[in-house]
Amino acid sequence: MGGTAYLFAAFSITWAIIFFYTFSISRRQKSLEIQIDKIREILEKSLRP
Amino acid sequence: MTRKPNFLATFKLITFFMMFIALGAIFFYAPVEKTMGIVQKIFYIHVPSAFFAFFAFFITFVASILYLFKKEHKWDVIAFCAAEIGLTFCTIVLITGPIWAKPIWNVWWTWDPRLTTTLILWFTYVVYLMLRGVVRENQRSNFSAVFGIIGFANVPITFFAIRMWRTIHPVVITAKGLNISVPMKHTLLLTFIAFGLLFSSLLISRIRLEKMRVNTGEIKALIEDKIHFG
Amino acid sequence: MSFIQKLRAIVWKDLTSELRTKEMILSMCIFSFLVLIIFNFAFALGLKTLQGVIPGILWVAFIFSGLMGLSRSFGAERDRGTLPGLLLCPVSPWGIYLAKMIGVFIFTAIMEIFTLSIFTILYNVNLLPFLFPLGLIIFLGTLGFSTIGTIFSAMSATTKARDVILSILVFPIAVPMIIASVQATGMILAGKPLQDILSWLKILVAFDLVFLLLAYLTFGFIMEE
């Protein structure tokens, strides 16, 4: 039935948008956490006598 | 700092759980609508998304005003993040709307005041985000706050203007004409709660990310100064 | 110096500096002239059917041409480096805004008068019987355009792609003003009495007042460095 195709399209696109946005947030979060770890390393190095 | 992530994690879990329940309700609890058929179920995504898209911009509006008054950076962050998430929800509205309209009224688009105002809102969000991209850092928060206020004030005026315009150019499609039975109301309530939780958890996550990004940037700048200048 | 005198000084400055080269006002008029011509080709309809699109053509000419004047309002200050000087003037930001807005309004009005004259000739429309109601609508519409445009001109003046940013800032906000102006103009040209267009007038007045108020409240923040 044609209607079901539309229904499927709407739900999948919505899910895709939500998924990709959530994914983009967590990806940026992870890359920030990596940067913070690097900063911690640099600080530890510079604090060692 | 160890407490907050735990709260967010459980909140996200609840959100995920709730979305699942709502999905189940949409397909197994809510009856199929008589006149529109199964396509009508798009309504359960479309309506809450529209509500939260507008609500998000309202948050941007209030946060913009608060930023201009108090000049505290956190309000600028909230305004920005709410706009980003609002744009996401607005995109969902503008995509599910035509997908719903096509099989039922055989047109992709109608210049219905609500859908058209949502389109203008979408553009306003996009312009808001672009403005933040091109303005220099020292003026960015001020300018986007002003635009956030102007953009939101424009919404009711636009709605009334379009509605007045539409009564002169009557369109084939009139009201959305939906008969809502009680189980449908329950399902709608469930999806509202689910989308509300989704909105909140996305907003909190995004704000946390933005604050982290800004702080990290500041720390990096400080360290680079230290390294280069001792 | 009183507030009015300060306003007059800034407006006079803008007017005289433009009168020296007349560069901007000439470009605006030529551009709107071209818009009128191109739209005639774009629609390629007979005179009767053109009736429906005439108000739209007119306002498209006004707005696209008006954007040029708008861009220059703060853009020229930025390019010439006179913006800091303007900010140092003992005028409140609201004074600067109002003066700039009046300047934009005047230049746009000159362009509009020119456009209307050309329009009368090219489209064989006699505007004289409609002069008062048409003038009122164009006044209110141009006021709205200048109101929001001046704010955005100040914002976009410091960015790189100044004209693009200005356009995308103006268009979504100008939507209700455009709808109301075009509809009201169409009704006037169709000979409807002033009563019929009252609701559109209300929208235009509301638009002008709301954004003038917002400009008053927020322009200071735009002038902050």
Q: What is the ipTM of this complex?
A: 0.90
Query: Phi, psi at residue C67, to the nearest 5°?
Result: -60, -30
Q: Which domain holds residue A48?
A: 1-49
The two structure tokens encoding residue B215: 């702080």
Residue showing tokens 């397909």: B27
- Asked whether the predicted pLDDT for residue B176 surpasses 90, the reply is no
Q: What is the pLDDT of residue B164?
A: 86
What average pLDDT does the segment B123-139 reach?
A: 94
Query: Phi, psi at residue C195, to the nearest 5°?
Result: -60, -40
A3 contacts B38? CB cut-off 8 A: yes
Q: How close is the nearest chain A Cα to the Cα of B117, in Å?
A: 20
Q: Which residue of B has its CA nearest to C180?
A: B161
Q: Which domain holds residue C139?
A: 3-223
The neighbouring-strand residues paired with B33 are B37
B85 contact residues in A (CB cutoff 8 A): 21
Residue showing tokens 């689910």: B194
Q: Are B50 and B66 in contact (CB under 8 A)?
A: no
CA C25/CA C66 separation, integer angstroms: 10
Predicted confidence (pLDDT) per residue in A1-49, tens digit = 567 888 889 999 999 999 999 999 999 999 999 988 988 888 888 777 6
More confident residue, B51 or C126: B51
- Asked whether the predicted pLDDT for residue B158 surpasses 70, the reply is yes
Chains that touch B (3 or more CB pairs under 8 A): A, C
Please count the helices (runs of H) and the strands (runs of E) in chain C. 9, 0
C186 contact residues in B (CB cutoff 8 A): none
What average pLDDT does the segment B173-195 reach?
A: 77
Residue B90: pLDDT band (50, 70, 90) is: very high
CA B46/CA B175 separation, integer angstroms: 16
Q: What is the pLDDT of residue A44?
A: 86
Q: How close is the nearest chain B Cα to the Cα of A14, in Å?
A: 6
The two structure tokens encoding residue C41: 């080709």
- CA within 13 Å, CB half, C132: 3
With vertex at residue A38, the alpha carbon angle to CA A32 and CA A42, rounded to the nearest 5 degrees, is: 140
User: What pLDDT tens digit does each residue of chain C (225 aa) get?
Assistant: 788 888 888 889 888 888 888 889 999 999 999 999 998 888 776 666 777 788 999 999 999 999 999 998 888 888 888 888 888 888 888 999 999 999 999 999 999 999 999 999 988 888 888 888 899 999 999 999 999 999 999 999 989 889 999 999 999 999 999 999 999 999 988 877 777 788 899 999 999 999 999 999 999 999 886
- Asked whether the predicted pLDDT for residue B219 surpasses 80, the reply is yes
DSSP symbols for B159-203:
HHHHHHHHHHS--S--S------HHHHHHHHHHHHHHHHHHHHHH
More confident residue, B228 or B118: B118
Residue B2: pLDDT band (50, 70, 90) is: very low
- Asked whether the predicted pLDDT for residue B229 surpasses 80, the reply is no
CA A4/CA B99 separation, integer angstroms: 11
Q: What is the pLDDT of residue C54?
A: 86
B157 contacts C159? CB cut-off 8 A: no
Percent of chain A with pLDDT over 90: 51
Q: What is the pLDDT of residue C142?
A: 97
pTM over cut 0.80 = yes
Closest residue by Cα to residue C15 from C109, C156, C123, C120:
C109
A10 contact residues in B (CB cutoff 8 A): 42, 45, 95-96, 99-100
Q: What is the pLDDT of residue B1?
A: 46
A7 contacts B38? CB cut-off 8 A: yes
CA C165/CA B127 separation, integer angstroms: 8
CA C99/CA C105 separation, integer angstroms: 10
A10 interfacial to chain B (CB closer than 8 Å): yes
Closest Cβ opposite residue A14 in set B85, B92, B212: B92
Q: What is the pLDDT of residue B169?
A: 63
Q: Are B149 and B65 in contact (CB under 8 A)?
A: yes
The count of CB pairs under 8 A between chains B and C is 85
B106 contacts: CB under 8 Å, gap ≥ 6: none
B91 contacts A10? CB cut-off 8 A: no
B153 contact residues in C (CB cutoff 8 A): 210-211, 214
A18 contacts B220? CB cut-off 8 A: no
Percent of chain B with pLDDT over 90: 53
C199 interfacial to chain B (CB closer than 8 Å): yes
Domains identified in chain A, total number? 1
Chains that touch C (3 or more CB pairs under 8 A): B
Q: How close is the nearest chain A Cα to the Cα of B68, in Å?
A: 27
The two structure tokens encoding residue C3: 């507030």
- Asked whether the predicted pLDDT for residue B172 surpasses 70, the reply is no
With vertex at residue B112, the alpha carbon angle to CA C144 and CA B155, rounded to the nearest 5 degrees, is: 35
Q: What is the pLDDT of residue B64?
A: 97
- Asked whether the predicted pLDDT for residue B173 surpasses 60, the reply is no
Q: How close is the nearest chain A Cα to the Cα of B133, in Å?
A: 18
C221 contacts B157? CB cut-off 8 A: no
C158 contacts B153? CB cut-off 8 A: no
Query: Phi, psi at residue C47, to the nearest 5°?
Result: -60, -35
Q: Are B135 and B162 in contact (CB under 8 A)?
A: no
